[in-house]
């Protein structure tokens, strides 16, 4: 029986991180590498993936970069095939690829709405399917990246984003009840609060600072704080946790 601290290690595991070309995706990839995992990263921007790959390699872990659009199931299957072919297996999926918009509902076009749902929800589902087919029975962990906006609002018009992240909660719980008992794959979600990302960079000046009044911790989150939560859910330390949604939000959802 492994010791408690040892159960947080990802040594010997292989993790796929989607949307790893920038921001929190980079933090997930490097954080899991620091915990001992070999990493497969994917995104649409292959040149940015190479920068993430170099960071993982500098930590001393193996890393492959695969260009992929998660809205295309064939691309998702290709990522998994490359991971198994080059790294040997798939143990962990961090379903991070996503986009966010802030468009008033009466001005949001059908294509704008569909695009957010397609990437945030459909892409997460297609990647989960592809990975679950490859994960060995009793040895898998899927971590979907949701948002506190799936459970509350944040003073911006975000119907598409909020809908997609609320759906991630339902997807997480359903896949957990389908796969945990039958395949031994745990499925959980993180619900980040305010972290620096490409999406927050698009918000109006001063918006994030104004929102801190709703955060008991009184500050934005640091990327390593979210990566640490992902390591917990990916590792054997959370072996009795499935179907859960873990807020990492400085207390935002308590207000």
Q: Which of 79, 86, 80, 21 is nearest to 54 (CA)?
A: 21
Round to whole Å and give the CA distance between 218 and 251. 9
Q: Are 150 and 165 in contact (CB under 8 A)?
A: yes
Q: Are 41 and 86 in contact (CB under 8 A)?
A: no
What does DSSP say about strands 92-95 and 63-67: parallel, antiparallel, or unpaired? unpaired
Residues pairing with 93 in the sheet: 16, 142
Active-site option among 161, 203, 207, 240 = 161
> Is residue 125 among the annotated active site residues?
no
Residues pairing with 145 in the sheet: 190
- For residue 92, what are the contacts with CB-CB under 8 A and spacing of at least 6? 10, 13, 14, 15, 16, 32, 37, 140, 141, 142, 143, 234
Instruction: Supply the residues annotated as catalytic.
Output: 161
């Amino acid at each position: 029986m492994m010791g408690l601290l040892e159960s947080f290690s990802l040594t010997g595991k292989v993790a796929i991180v989607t949307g790893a070309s920038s921001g929190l995706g980079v933090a997930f990839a490097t954080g899991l590498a620091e915990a001992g995992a070999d990493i497969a990263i994917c995104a649409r921007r292959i040149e940015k993936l190479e920068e993430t790959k170099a960071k993982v390699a500098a930590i001393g872990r193996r890393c492959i970069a695969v260009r992929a659009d998660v809205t295309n199931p064939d691309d998702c299957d290709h990522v998994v095939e490359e991971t198994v072919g080059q790294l040997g297996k798939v143990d962990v999926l961090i379903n991070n690829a996503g986009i966010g918009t802030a468009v008033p509902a009466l001005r949001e076009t059908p294509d704008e709405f569909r695009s957010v749902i397609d990437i945030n929800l459909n892409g997460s589902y297609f990647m989960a399917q592809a990975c679950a087919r490859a994960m060995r029975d009793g040895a898998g962990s899927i971590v979907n990246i949701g948002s506190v906006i799936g459970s509350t609002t944040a003073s911006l018009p975000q119907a598409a984003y909020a809908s997609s992240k609320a759906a991630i909660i339902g997807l997480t719980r359903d896949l957990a009840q389908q796969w945990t008992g039958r395949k031994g794959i745990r499925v959980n979600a993180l619900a980040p609060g305010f972290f620096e990302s490409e999406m927050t960079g698009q918000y109006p000046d001063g918006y994030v600072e104004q929102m801190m009044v709703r955060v008991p911790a009184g500050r934005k989150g640091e990327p390593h704080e979210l990566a640490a939560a992902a390591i917990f859910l990916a590792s054997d330390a959370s072996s009795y946790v499935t179907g859960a949604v873990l807020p990492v939000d400085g207390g935002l959802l308590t207000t």
